[in-house]
Amino acid sequence: MVHGSWTSWTWQDNARRYALWEVMPEVRWYPGEKKAWYVGAMFKTGQFNYKFSGTGRQGDLLCGGITGNTQTVTATLTYSDGNPADTSLESDLTASLADFNNDKAVPLTLGGTIAETPTEAGVEAGITGWETIDCGGVNAEL
């Protein structure tokens, strides 16, 4: 698979600029029968041109790394007053994501049903496990 982006913005009569292009090819291997996780390698290259003040920065970017992830969603149901106790959920999204890249015009919708809640329930979501990737000597000071 290949990821890529391009953007070019100018404002204040070209006194400020934000421009970037990048290409990131990636190979992935989904082991096992369920293919619920993957491991891969990526390479990223591109150029940037930023100017947010009197001095701008421009240059090349180049990096690579090892990638990996699971195709699961986890959640915790938390009830008011802690009664009953929190309920942890985990769901394998392998089947739901199997055709994700086939038809980009169709939105992906994931949902679920809470069949019974003895008290008022609160739902909270968050993303965890983000990893910082060091792309070397890129400096985009503002």
Query: For 58-95, how does the pLDDT look when each residue is reduced to its tens digit (9 = 90+)?
Result: 999 999 999 888 777 777 777 777 777 787 878 777 77
Structural domains of the chain, count: 1
What is the reported pLDDT for 110?
Answer: 66
Q: Which pLDDT band holds residue 117 (cuts at 50, 70, 90)?
A: low
**Cα–Cα distance for residue pair 20/46, rounded to 1 Å:** 7
Is residue 55 assigned to a domain?
A: yes
Is residue 112 assigned to a domain?
A: yes
Is residue 142 assigned to a domain?
A: no
Is residue 127 assigned to a domain?
A: no
Is residue 49 assigned to a domain?
A: yes
Residue-range definition of the domain harbouring residue 112? 2-122
Is residue 116 assigned to a domain?
A: yes
Is residue 39 assigned to a domain?
A: yes
Considering the entire predicted model, what is its pTM?
Answer: 0.48
DSSP string, 48-117: EEEESSSS-EEEEEEEEEEEEEE-EEEEEEEEGGG-S--EEEEEE-HHHHTTTTT-TTSPP---------
- The share of the chain scoring above pLDDT 90, in percent, equals 21
Q: What's CA 74's distance to the chain center, in Å?
A: 16
Is residue 129 assigned to a domain?
A: no
